[in-house]
Amino acid sequence: MDKKSGAKKTDLKELPKISDRVSFIYVERAKINRQDSAITVSDYRGIVHIPVAMLGLLMLGPGTDISHRAVELIGDTGTSLVWVGERGVRYYAHGRSLAHSTRFLEKQAKLVSNNRSRLGVARKMYQMRFANEDVSQLTMQQLRGREGARIRKVYREESKKHHVEWTKREYDIDDFQAGSPVNQALSAANVALYGLCHSIIVALGMSPGLGFVHTGHDKSFVYDIADLYKAEITIPLAFTLAEKIEEGEDIERLARLGLRDKIVETKLSQRIVQDLQYLMEIPEDDQIYLDYIELWDDKTSNVQHGISYTEV
C-alpha cells in the first residue's frame, strides 16, 4: 500500500470553536497552495502561511489560483470558500458553510415555518428601517405600505437633492442600456449588494432561499437582507452618480466601484453579520464576529489598511 503524504485529516474534536476563528480573509491576485496543515498565499511580495483551521471564511477575489490540495485541507477543517468579485461585491459561488453544525440554518427554518415567528422577524426587519416608529402591531400589508411610502420619499428627496429627474423604478433585464442612468446605477449597485449579502448568508450556514418578507425565490432571504441597506447606501449612490455622469462613462462599473468603497466606509460586511444574528435571535455565546482592520489617523477619520500611502 502506498504511503500517504502530508498531514493527517483533522479530527472534528481537534478543530477550534467557530467563535475562536478569524472570521473572514479576502485574497486576490495570488496563488494559494498547501504546506502540511497550513495554506500558503503567495504574490509578488512573498509568501504568507495561514493556519487554515483558525480561519472561518476564505473569500477568493479576482486573479486567484487555488490548488486541489489546498481545497482538500480547507474542506477537512470546515473552512468556507466563497468566490467573489473585487473586495467581495459580487457573489459567484460558494463551498461549504462556516460551521459543521446546522444550528443557524435550523433556527432560520424554525422561525420561517411558523406564521407568528415569521411575522415577528419581518417586523424586526421593518423596525430597523423605521427607527422612530413602533411597528410591533402592524400587519404585513401595513408594513409593506409603510415601506413603499418610505422608499418613494427617499427617491423624491434624492431626486431633488441631486437634480436628477425621477419617474419610477424601471429596468429591462434583457436590455440594461434601455434604462435611465439612475436606473442603470441602481440595478448595478443592487446586484453587487445582493452578492455581498449572499456570500455572508451562506458563510454563516443560513439558506439564501428561506425569506421572511420575500418568498418563492432561491434568493428570497438575500433580498430581505439587502433591502435593509438600500435607502442608506445604493439609492443615494445611484443618484450621486447619475448627477455627475459624463457621456461615454460606464455607469455600471462606477456603481460597482462606488458600492465597493461604501462597503468599506460603512463597515457594511460587519453590520450584515451582526444584523443577521440579531434577526435570527442567535445567543451571544454562539455568535460570530467579523474582524475589521483600519489604520488610525490623527488628523482625519481612520483610513483603509492594505494600501501603500508613500508620498510621491
Q: How many CB atoms lie within 10 A of CB 62?
A: 12
pLDDT of 79 above 90: no
What is the CATH code for 103-284?
Answer: 1.20.120.920
Task: Give yes or no for a contact between 84 and 199, defined as CB atoms under 8 angstroms apart.
Answer: yes
The mean per-residue pLDDT over the stretch 9-36 comes to: 64
Spatial distance between the Cα atoms of 46 and 135, rounded to a whole number of angstroms: 54
Task: Give yes or no for a contact between 33 and 69, defined as CB atoms under 8 angstroms apart.
Answer: yes
pLDDT at position 157, please? 96
Question: 227 a known binding residue?
Answer: yes
| 219: amino acid identity, one letter | K
Question: 49 a known binding residue?
Answer: no
C-beta contacts of 94-102 below 8 A and 24+ residues apart: 94/199, 94/202, 94/203, 95/71, 97/202, 97/203, 97/204, 97/205, 97/206, 98/18, 98/56, 98/57, 98/203, 98/204, 98/205, 98/288, 99/18, 99/204, 99/205, 100/12, 100/15, 101/205, 102/205
The residues of the chain that CATH labels 3.100.10.20 are 12-84
pLDDT at position 176, please? 64
**Nearest-5° Cα angle at 19, 222 to 199:** 20
Most confident of 177-181, 217-221, 298-302: 217-221
pLDDT at position 89, please? 65
C-beta contacts of 117-124 below 8 A and 24+ residues apart: 118/212, 121/212, 121/279, 121/280, 122/212, 122/213, 124/278, 124/279
Question: 147 a known binding residue?
Answer: yes
Which residues share a beta bridge with 35? 38
Mean per-residue pLDDT over the chain, rounded: 81
The residues of the chain that CATH labels 1.20.120.920 are 103-284
pLDDT at position 186, please? 92
Q: Which CATH number fits domain 12-84: 3.50.50.60, 1.50.10.20, 3.40.109.10, 3.100.10.20?
A: 3.100.10.20
The mean per-residue pLDDT over the stretch 226-232 comes to: 95
Is the full-model pTM beyond 0.75?
no
Spatial distance between the Cα atoms of 83 and 274, rounded to a whole number of angstroms: 22
